[in-house]
Amino acid sequence: MKIVTAGTGMAAAEFVEQLRLEGFAGEIVMVGDEDCPPYSPCVIPFYLAGEPLDTVYWKGKDFYEKYRVTARLGEPVVQVDQVRQIIHTADGTREDYDRLFFATGSHSWYPRPEWLGIKGVFGFKTLSDMMAIDRYLREEQVSEAVVFGGGFIGVDAALALQTRGLRVSLVHRNTRLLSQMTDEEGGRFATLRLAEKTGMDIRLRTTVEDISHSNGQLTAVRLSDGREIATPLLILSVGVTPNSVPLQGDDKGVLSNEQMLADPSIYTAGDVAVTRHAVNGTSGVYANYPNAMRQARVAARHLLHGDGSYDGSINTTVLRKHIDFPVISAGDFSGEAITYQQGDIWRRVYLVDGMINGYLIIGDTRLSGYLYQHYKDRTRVDGTIRKTISSPRHDGQYREMLGFAAA
């Protein structure tokens, strides 16, 4: 049997590794649009912040040799012929397959794609983006930057650049940073504390409307409030879109069943896959690393053994990079809200029918495993949760587990 992957990212690397570890000895071809070993996008901001490049190659730089893979790199897949079981690449060549693993992830969405033609304007999504920014910082001695987009990736970008020594302005259209992973009050708390801790210039309810350049070099950005910021560097991190066009002609993501199959000979996983939420059952793209790993393993197992099924995705988000101020959330922010705040720590749990419907923890990670487990397992916690999250020593979960009686 010949197995082909479209994509050489986290899901594809995990899938291939599982196949080989479980004894698959047949032919594997990986086709990717970037020319590099598999890397972790989660780690690439650390590289930009100053860590060595090799730390991004999460399964080793020798991945293709180690797992006996024919790698076709720098060749974007442009079309999948599902009937004849052939993929077509941009240079006009083709690759037939018995089974295809379609894991092309997502790409940045750009409000004005033509801005990328101006020197000093970059996306923040791929290793190629990071290397281009790194080169630019070294060559041009850049000391300040504007990041447009204050979601998870934009905040990651701003913190990485600041760690690298730049002065950063962060421009975000919403009322708070991290708006998709926080509720209003928690997001405002996180934004305020991030501003205090980093000294970053944060502009909310604002967008980048236009840019100025001289001889093709960025000189300034103009904001929606009319003000201008002089800068030689603009990072665009406004949103991402699934790379599902080559398979189905649209960018809505690839619908998979519980075996991660999109059709009888095509598996899918990762940021391009549409899956069911493990708790609320809603279909969607749940783009994070743990979901991608579990989906890839289910696909490999099913391909080799014909069994196993995916138990659903969780929309967990963990921002914990560059500074000691984590923001962690999961689930839906609706139901009865129970909140605790002390100093830099802010915790909120939403309860529905006595069970956790969603949670948000800021400034502290100690309860994240506990809340995640109870959220996923649908445990009733209404009798204890208030005490657990408001333990002044932050060890309420251990005391509860050990059976401590209320004082």
Ligand X SMILES: Cc1cc2nc3c(=O)[nH]c(=O)nc-3n(C[C@H](O)[C@H](O)[C@H](O)COP(=O)(O)OP(=O)(O)OC[C@H]3O[C@@H](n4cnc5c(N)ncnc54)[C@H](O)[C@@H]3O)c2cc1C
Among 153, 158, 351, 367, binds ligand X (CB under 6 A): 153
Which two three-digit tokens encode residue 164?
Answer: 């690298």
DSSP string, 250-302: SSS-EE--TTSEEETTEEE-GGGEEEEBTTT--EE----HHHHHHHHHHHHHH
Among 16, 28, 56, 77, binds ligand X (CB under 6 A): 77
Would you tell me how many other CB atoms lie within 10 Å of the CB of residue 293? 18
Closer CB to ligand X, 111 or 210, in the complex: 111
Cβ 101 to ligand X, closest distance in Å?
10
Length of the chain: 407
Chain positions 111 to 130 lying near ligand X, rule: CB under 6 A, are: 124-125
Stretch that binds ligand X, among 28-36, 94-102, 303-311, 394-402 (CB under 6 A): 28-36
- CA atoms of 352 and 403, how far apart (whole Å): 24
Which strands sit side by side in the sheet containing 217-223, from one edge to the other? 208-214, 217-223, 228-230
Residue 34 makes contact with ligand X by CB under 6 A = yes
Residue 8 makes contact with ligand X by CB under 6 A = yes
To the nearest 10 degrees (0 to 180), the angle between helices 184-198 and 152-163 is 10
The residue type at 190:
A
Closer CB to ligand X, 8 or 198, in the complex: 8
Among 4, 7, 142, 348, binds ligand X (CB under 6 A): 7
CA 165 to chain centre: 24
Per-residue x/- mask for ligand X, residues 224 to 263, rule CB under 6 A? -------------------x--x-----------------
Residue 41 makes contact with ligand X by CB under 6 A = yes
Residue 308 makes contact with ligand X by CB under 6 A = no
> Which residue has tokens 């899918």?
268
Please report, as ranges, the residues that interact with ligand X according to CB under 6 A.
6-12, 31-34, 41-42, 44-45, 76-77, 103-105, 124-125, 153, 156, 243, 246, 270-272, 287-289, 292
